[in-house]
Amino acid sequence: EIVLTQSPGTLSLSPGERATLSCRASQSVSSSYLAWYQQKVGQAPRLLIYGASTRATGIPDRFGGSGSGTDFTLTISRLEPEDFAVYYCQQHGSSPLTFGGGTKVEIK
Amino acid sequence: QMQLQESGPGLVKPSETLSLICTVSGGSIRTSSYYWGWIRQPPGKGLEWIGTIFYSGNAYYNPSLESRIAISVDTSKNQFSLKLRSVTAADTASYYCARRRGVARVFDLWGRGSLVTVSS
């Protein structure tokens, strides 16, 4: 099983700032099959990025994904008020599918 | 616009079986484009993949839960279901059903979630 470790646990930023979230895998993720989800309080997760860098339908281009092997990054270029939430990575290259522990992006 | 909706008891006693149904509306579950999955999230914690099923009935489970779970599909009702046996307090969680893309194993449409509490 691939273990995903996200850092930092909490990111305190102001609207308009750039957010950089990290996801590190315990072993190489095949074909860069790494996804990112956003979850707001009381809501289901929403798919943002899959295949490390492909934005899902309707996701604004301020969200960008990069990385390969064991190190992946989600970047939010300029934080909007609606972007403050918890973000999870998920590897979709091998079974069992696994998720990271999450990074909370909070308003500073 | 396809939607998913979980239903089932919100309270289950320890050692009993948790049963949830996911009803798919706005589209057919009988499609080769998608798989159908269950994911859970304990209160204040992260996400855990439980299992996935194809409309043909082929199911894939998380090895950590495999001995206790069964996922089935009813194409006539456009539903799929989860059964988790011998529950304990550790199974208390919000249970989500979700649509999984066939090729890329990511979940691109989710239900709103159903909180299930295990308590006597």
CA distance B82 to chain A (A): 17
Exposure pattern of A13-49 as b/e (b: 16+ CB <10 Å)?
beeeeebebbbbbeeebeebbbbbbbbeeeebbbbbb
What is the arithmetic mean of pLDDT over A21-48? 96
pLDDT for B102 equals 78
Per the CB < 8 Å rule, is B47 touching A90? yes
- The shortest CB-CB distance from B106 to any of A43, A47, A96 is to A47
Q: Give which of B107, B109, B114, B115 to mutate to test A binding, by max A Cβ within 10 Å.
A: B107
Segment A60-81, tens digit of pLDDT: 999 999 999 999 999 999 999 9
Please name the residues in contact with B108: beta carbons below 8 A apart, sequence gap of 6 or more.
Answer: A47, A56, A57, B98, B99, B100, B101
Q: Among residues 61-80 of chain A, which lie with CB inside 8 Å of chain B?
A: none
d(C-alpha A51, C-alpha A34), whole Å = 5
**In this predicted structure, what is the pLDDT of residue B63?**
97
d(CA A32, CA A55) in angstroms, rounded, equals 14
Give how far B40 is from chain A: nearest CA, Å.
Answer: 10
pLDDT in tens, B57-89: 999 999 999 999 999 999 999 999 999 999 999
Q: CB-based contacts of A22: which residues, under 8 Å, 6+ apart?
A: A6, A7, A8, A71, A72, A73, A103
* Pairwise CB contact (< 8 Å): A35 & B106: yes
Tens of pLDDT along chain B (120 residues) come to: 999 999 999 999 999 999 999 999 999 999 999 999 999 999 999 999 999 999 999 999 999 999 999 999 999 999 999 999 999 999 999 999 999 987 788 999 999 999 999 999
The span from the CA of A105 to the CA of A94, in Å, is 28
The reply to whether residue B47 touches residue A92, judged by beta carbons under 8 angstroms, is: no
Cβ–Cβ of A96/B62 closer than 8 Å?
Answer: yes
In the prediction, which pLDDT does B19 show? 98
The phi, psi pair for A18, rounded to 5°, reads -95, 135
- Give the distance from residue A56's alpha carbon to the nearest chain B alpha carbon, in angstroms: 8
Q: What is the dihedral of CA A58, B93, B83, B109, to 10 degrees?
A: 0
Identify the residue among A97, A99, A103 best suited for mutation to test binding to B, counting B beta carbons within 10 A and taking the highest. Answer: A97
